[in-house]
Amino acid sequence: MAGIGCDLRLGMSGNGAVPVKNTLQTLARRALEPGAEPFACLTCYDATTARWLARAGVPLLLVGDTASEVILGLPRTIDMPLDVLVALTAAVKRGAPGSVVMADMPFMSYQADDAEGIRNAGRFLREGLADIVKVEVDASFAPLVERMTRAGVPVCAHVGSKPQHVALTSGYAAAGRTAEDANLIVEDAMALEAAGARMILVEAVPPEVGEKVVAATSVPVIGIGAGPACHGQIMVLQDLLGMTDHPPRFVHPVARLGLELKAAGEEWVRRVAGRQIGGAAYSLKPGESEKLDPFSGRLGGSRGRIAKVRSAPDPGQ
């Protein structure tokens, strides 16, 4: 079995025939061409899954703070540890070197201090091998986005519903459902693009709001529950694969892998109970079978060696 680093097929196009190297520039050109088709994005948290998603032709993988819930089993995205997310980001990039890998900067990794935020963003680029970092922000964070950009860090600005604000909203909630709120989201997106954001991600807003963000900006806009007008669409992988019990209302699963995984586990339990584990067994080398210790009660062979070890005097005595 080829190792991940040796698989030359990583980052292939959707039909698996032509090697593709996706970059922020290629995605921007693809997204902003007149009549361009939207591009697919998915969350991802490990190298093996990244390899298969790259082979499927998914050009952008987000290592989201949703790993807090779907990988670590924590109750909220704000519980995501920074160091763990950096390590997961590097794993995804190693699995899909031809994909654009976006790192999600977790709660309190950039909000308290601009300098700390820039240093942590740099960690995602250097240690995490990320191509771009995502921050949940509004227009008041434009100076931070500008400083990150000036430092050489590509930024995706996340507007609309912000899961890291869950403590303020008493749970996950949609955004932009009034004209006033919708206009503020559009203004946020414009201000953050002006500050240097290379992409905009807009979450859980009515389709009209997603459409207005696209019309008001000139960078790729990725939507999650934001209507069909966005240049790219992203989902949490486990939601899309039918592995979560309560996915958001905007998710239409394309598979039921949760049930498939359950069935696979049940089948393994059945095989083990019946001593029918399958596969090919290893075999002794020719002529070795006759040499096996019959364990007839004599202190010979391996049992004799064990007995000798147990009865050896203590060298310290």
Q: Where are the domains positioned within the chain? A: 4-240
How does pLDDT run across 26-49, given as a tens digit for each residue? 999 999 999 999 999 999 999 999
Torsion sign over Cα 302, 307, 308, 312: positive
Contacts of 36 (CB under 8 A, 6+ apart): 30, 231
pLDDT confidence of residue 3: 40
Q: 37, 203, 266, 288: which is the annotated catalytic residue?
A: 203
As a 3-state breakdown, the chain gives helix, strand, coil percent values, each rounded to 5, of 45, 15, 45
pTM equals 0.87
**Structure tokens that stand for 159 in this block:** 């507007």
Mean pLDDT in residue range 172-199: 97
| The pLDDT of residue 128 is above 90 | yes
| The pLDDT of residue 11 is above 90 | no
| The pLDDT of residue 193 is above 90 | yes
| The pLDDT of residue 113 is above 50 | yes
Distance (Å, whole) CA 224 – CA 209: 12
| Distances, alpha carbon 197 to alpha carbons 18, 100, 120, 262, 302, in Å | 30, 16, 17, 42, 68
With tokens 């190792």, the residue in question is 3
| The pLDDT of residue 66 is above 80 | yes
Distance (Å, whole) CA 255 – CA 156: 29
pLDDT confidence of residue 168: 86
Sheet strands (E) in 105-197: 132-136, 155-160
Q: Mark whether 203 is an active-site residue.
A: yes
Of 5 and 153, which is predicted with more confidence?
153
pLDDT confidence of residue 12: 43
How many C-beta atoms surround the C-beta of residue 102 within 10 A? 28
Distance (Å, whole) CA 223 – CA 221: 6
Mean pLDDT, the chain, rounded, equals 90
Lowest mean pLDDT among 14-23, 166-175, 245-254, 301-310: 301-310
CATH superfamily of 4-240: Phosphoenolpyruvate-binding domains (3.20.20.60)
Mean pLDDT in residue range 181-204: 98
Classify strands 232-235 and 221-224 as parallel, antiparallel or unpaired. parallel
| Distances, alpha carbon 259 to alpha carbons 49, 50, 66, in Å | 18, 22, 21
> Are 68 and 76 in contact, with CB atoms under 8 Å apart?
yes
Distance (Å, whole) CA 113 – CA 181: 27
